Amino acid sequence: MKSHAFLQEKRKILAVIPDELTMYFALLLLIISNCFMTLAWYGHLKFLHGAPLWQAILFGWLIALLEYSFMIPATRLLAQQGWAVGQMKITQEVVTLLVFVPFMIFLFKQPFKLDYLWAGLCLVGCVYFVFRSQ
């Protein structure tokens, strides 16, 4: 009898692990996607500043294709986990800020401002409100 209860409990634990791993994998895909998105949106300013506009646009579109190749699977995985579209969007905005600030500081040599920290704290509030009803 104890053995049967133990096996049932073990199955419950194992059933949860794949869902958590799926969520973490989806979040990793979001991070990768945002790296490409940031490069697509702002990389031309660093690498193609003297190039014709059409080349900068083509550069952005090609990188954006990579971004979508990570974003679409990420949102599908999160939707399968039961995430609402609003929850996915707010999470994506948090990831965007986490990716963009280091990109801005290290690639563009822009100074860090305390206002970025305050903006991040506002996003933490957004996360609280979109996830609190679960």
| pLDDT per position as a tens digit, 37-58 | 999 999 999 999 899 999 999 9
Least confident of 6-15, 19-28, 51-60: 6-15
Per-residue pLDDT reduced to its tens digit, 97-123: 899 999 999 999 999 999 988 988 998
Tokens of 63: 């990188």
| Element of type H or E holding 17 | helix 2-47
Q: Is residue 112 a contact partner of residue 76, using CB atoms and an 8 Å limit?
A: no
Which of 68, 76, 70 is closest to 31 using CA atoms?
70
Q: Which residues contact 98 (CB under 8 A, 6 or more apart)?
A: 31, 34, 120
DSSP string, 62-89: HHHHHHHHHHHHHHHHHHHTT--HHHHH
